[in-house]
Homo-oligomer: A and B are copies of this chain.
Amino acid sequence: SAFLRIGYLFWGEFVISLFLFLTGHRLISQTAAKIDVDFDYDGPLMKTEVPGPRSRELMKQLNGIQNAEAVHFFCNYQESRGNYLVDVDGNRMLDLYSQISSIPIGYSHPSLIKLLQQPQNLSTFINRPALGILPPGNFAEKLKESLLLVAPKGLQQVITMSCGSCSNENAFKAIFMWYRFSDISSFVLIFVFLGLGCLATTHSKAIHKLDIPSFDWPIAPFPRLKYPLEEFVKENQQEEAHCLEEVEDLIVKYRKKKKIVAGIVIEPIQSEGGDNHASDDFFRKLRDITRKHGCAFLVDEVQTGGGCTGKFWAHEHWGLDDPADVVTFSKKMMTGGFFHKEEFRPDGPYRIFNTWLGDPAKNLMLAEVINVIKREDLLNNATNAGKALLAGLLDLQARYPHLISRARGRGTFCSFDTPNDTTRNKLIAIARNKGVVLGGCGDRSIRFRPTLIFKDHHAHLFLNIFSDILADFK
């Protein structure tokens, strides 16, 4: 009924509204309309510096329980809406980092609230099954309404996992099993300067890896290009050719060590490592190398997937019919997991297995997220808002070349470099105090990872604020 489609935000509010409805009061439709349309705030609102006094107090408390040195500030998620993150000191900030790129359609989206309030969904949130052995009756149906709706070309098989690390680790397992050699010590994967969270392979922060034993797995360099790409075509082609050579050299070198390269792992945009892009042609040639040497091609879309580049998967930009053998995901997809080709399917039960294998509650939310992405045309939105953002960054780069360089991006997945780590961190701190949350990556980059409901006007809002910051920067 129309009554149940009301975009109420809070239970209490709903109870009051329902009462008013039953008693014939007219307020309800006004409330509903207001919330559906205006669930996003209309701008930042700053009350204290960030972190403010309440955040600093909570940091001390949390630090008594675990190392809390990475905490930026504490949040009031109940008050956070759309593109705006509200902190515990009442500061409301335009969030261009969105929980390390993991909030797809903004905070407190009315569609997700509705989903949670539907009685038939309650069970999914409180009865978490062991999906591999006792799935809910609607498991396949929900996969079809969520992940399979957006399956990468040719990859119709999917396995869910609880997080990004497990997604990649189990995808590695699937590749090794596909290779089916008897001497298991003779396998390796080549990582093209990967940034992900697994024990043996992370480069997301150099510090993650200190003191941890690791496999002897080769790492090939990700191309380091000059931007804007269209101005440095020749130099970039050379750099990419060099990197592709390196990959083939590693395959041969490891073969001589009696270690066979079972697969190559790459991100379409190398994210934690500093937002490094490569040309579509680079990826096409890398794909050819995997075919030539009979190894699997794993595309890690944990950070790039879910629509932020303007296509649902960043690898779609390559225009290939057969872009990958395995694609891993997490973050904006709400659930972790990986898509793969039929031939990478485990050849028996329990070969890719753990207790939970993901969480149907996340699949349920993803189905709704994908609905919203389609209904609100959010892929095109990412393309357009990204264009506005990148154009503005290029403009700022022209005006402040001593502060901004290598502005780059695809969709809203944009970034730029600053002269050094200190300047970068200072800019992030100033922006935050002016009401904009930004993230860093690599050793001197600032990256943009807004939600999919980040629009042109948010880009302009940010650019105005940041332009003032750069003008004042000392």
* Chain A residues with a Cβ under 8 A of chain B: 9-15, 18-19, 22, 54, 58, 61-62, 64-67, 69-78, 80, 85, 88, 99-100, 102-103, 107-109, 112-113, 115-120, 122-130, 132-137, 139-140, 143-144, 148, 156-159, 161-166, 169, 172-173, 176-177, 179-181, 184-185, 187-188, 197, 199-200, 204-205, 207-208, 210-215, 330-331, 334, 345-356, 361, 365
Q: Which residues of B contact A184 (CB under 8 A)?
A: 210-214
Q: Given contacts A9-B119, A65-B158, A70-B133, list 5 more A-B pairs with CB under 8 A.
A: A73-B134, A75-B135, A77-B136, A108-B126, A163-B354
The 6 closest A-B pairs by CB, nearest first: A11-B119, A70-B349, A69-B349, A10-B119, A162-B163, A88-B137
6 pairs, CB–CB < 8 Å, chain A vs chain B: A71-B132, A74-B135, A77-B124, A169-B199, A197-B353, A204-B353
Residue of B nearest to A101 (CB): B355
Inter-subunit contact B213/A176 (CB<8 Å): yes
Least Cβ distance of A362 to chain B in Å? 9
From B22, B65, B163, B207, A166 is in contact (CB under 8 Å) with: B163
Inter-subunit contact A140/B58 (CB<8 Å): yes
A93 to B135, CA, bound (A): 15
Residue of B nearest to A135 (CB): B74
Inter-subunit contact B70/A353 (CB<8 Å): yes
Residue of B nearest to A151 (CB): B65
A197 to B116, CA, bound (A): 31
Least Cβ distance of A371 to chain B in Å? 14
Inter-subunit contact B122/A10 (CB<8 Å): yes
Inter-subunit contact B353/A205 (CB<8 Å): yes
Inter-subunit contact B346/A67 (CB<8 Å): yes
Q: Which residues of B contact A109 (CB under 8 A)?
A: 126
Inter-subunit contact A122/B129 (CB<8 Å): no
Which of A10, A126, A173 is packed against the most chain B CB atoms within 10 Å? A126
Inter-subunit contact A354/B197 (CB<8 Å): yes
A330 to B18, CA, bound (A): 40
Inter-subunit contact B100/A126 (CB<8 Å): no
From B113, B120, B163, B211, A355 is in contact (CB under 8 Å) with: B163
Inter-subunit contact A148/B65 (CB<8 Å): yes
Least Cβ distance of A342 to chain B in Å? 10
Q: Which residues of B contact A66 (CB under 8 A)?
A: 157-159, 345
Q: Which residues of B contact A117 (CB under 8 A)?
A: 11, 122
Residue of B nearest to A173 (CB): B212
Q: Which residues of B contact A12 (CB under 8 A)?
A: 119
Least Cβ distance of A105 to chain B in Å? 10
Q: Which residues of B contact A67 (CB under 8 A)?
A: 345-349, 351-352
Least Cβ distance of A467 to chain B in Å? 26
Least Cβ distance of A465 to chain B in Å? 20
Residue of B nearest to A196 (CB): B354
Inter-subunit contact A77/B127 (CB<8 Å): yes
Q: Assuming A73-B134, A197-B354, A354-B164, is B62 touching A139 (CB within 8 A)?
A: yes
Inter-subunit contact B119/A13 (CB<8 Å): yes
Least Cβ distance of A110 to chain B in Å? 10
Q: Which residues of B contact A169 (CB under 8 A)?
A: 165, 199
Which of A85, A122, A208, A334 is packed against the most chain B CB atoms within 10 Å? A122
